Structure 1
């Protein structure tokens, strides 16, 4: 899981990075809001940690911009010394998913990060309820997929990928998140494995708006799988 931390205090930034790195996360630190925004144009992160007050902007303004640009993902955790209710409400209202009061405590930070990770990227194998979206039906108990009531033959890996997509509809899914959920590891930027499987799944399942769904690639980030409305012709 790749995490971006925006914290202008060098000691605090190092503490956050140390806690996350030792827990097995990959953390990149940025001292200003502008530095984070530059990074977001070229990289995908699974979670953002945002300090409330930054040298060049406020955390609230930064989160508002991220939400307007990237939508509801990635999840955002505010780190703040402010305890006033109106401040906390303001942070959540602009798109923050959670907040944590300073001083930073390692156990609490990791618990909140893992909680946001579970909420944002539910694992494909945790639920057994039948999924019905558009013209599709996926049954995790029998590992079967039907399109308009007709069974579709897919490989075990393609099934896991399909299940993950259907369980995360509407979310921006970074490539490494998909890889970890479906393959159990990060495959690497030079591999075409995930693209090949996505292409095969798109063809086998006829993932098109006329069937009620749309699968799109998001340049330099990953994929977005969405449910479309009745009569959607696929044009924005």
Structure 2
């Protein structure tokens, strides 16, 4: 896969392992040891994916991730072809508490790998995230509509009741798969396979987490859209009449 990866890691030994592994697997690699260097390198080299340590000498990798997402989103607003959905972010950190994993995903991370890690697993996850996030022109780009919700697959934009809904790449892909299968209940296993594309490396709790993120952003502008079928999975609800209002 022809892609560029930015490694943000202040421990030389780990940075060396990441660099050697990725170059061996055909990636173009750039490196940064601080948050400030990471933002500068991202602006200069426009990486497809960032491997981001959480604990950096000049601050938090979470802040770096937030800044990267904001800069890409600002570019899109200004008419630049840059799009926040074309940047993958994987946190690589020793912080393995569940609250840290959830926090990293909530801030815009596409995946979360804890140290120590196996290089084969890391490469597999890099490939999986890139399959979801690298920009490409869809063979049949279209506007998906469901009630007052619209998703433009050509511009990677989502609106509800005319209001823009900002989504991370994984949130966007999850919502797109739900919309393409509106009227069906999809199991967690189906969502893991089609959205995350690797079943064994991701816990089914990640699906629940991302469903909650989508609900929080979508339900702000209208009645609930995502239905939970307990013990089965999730689906998009039939559009409700406007007179009913939010539940």
TM tier relative to shorter chain: 0.5 to 0.7
Structure with higher helix content: 2
The answer to whether the 8 Å contact 2:5/2:50 transfers is: yes
The aligned counterpart of 2:120 is 107
1:164-179 equivalences in 2 (<5 Å): 169-170=155-156
CA offset at residue 42 of structure 1? 2.2
Is residue 26 from structure 1 mapped to residue 36 from structure 2 by the alignment? Answer: no
Rounded Cα–Cα distance in structure 2 between residues aligned with 1:104 and 1:168: 36
Contact kept, 8 Å, 1:48 with 1:77, in 2: the verdict is yes
Secondary structure in 2 matching 1:48 = strand
Q: CA deviation at 1:41?
A: 2.6
Higher relative contact order, chain-length normalized (CA < 8 Å, sep 6+): 1
Structure number with bigger Rg:
1
Whole-angstrom CA distance in 2 between matches of 1:62 and 1:124: 28
CA displacement at 1:167 relative to structure 2: 5.8
Of the three residues 121, 132, 135, the one matched with 2:142 is: 132
Residue 43, structure 1, aligned to residue 45, structure 2: yes
Question: In the comparison of the two structures, how many residue pairs are matched?
Answer: 137
Q: Deviation per CA, 1:172-213: give whole Å up to 9, x if none.
A: xxxxxxxxxxxxxxxxxxxxxxxxxxxxxxxxxxxxxxxxxx
In the alignment, the residues of structure 2 paired with residue 30 and residue 122 of structure 1 have an alpha-carbon distance, to the nearest angstrom, of 24
Structure 1: give runs of 5+ residues left out of the alignment.
Answer: 135-165, 172-236
C-alpha displacement at 1:123, in angstroms? 6.0
TM-score normalised to structure 2 length = 0.51
Written as runs of structure 1 = structure 2, the 5 A alignment for 1:67-78 is 67-71=69-73, 72-73=84-85, 74-78=87-91
Unaligned stretches of 5+ residues in structure 2? 74-83, 145-151, 158-247
Question: What's the Cα RMSD here?
Answer: 2.3
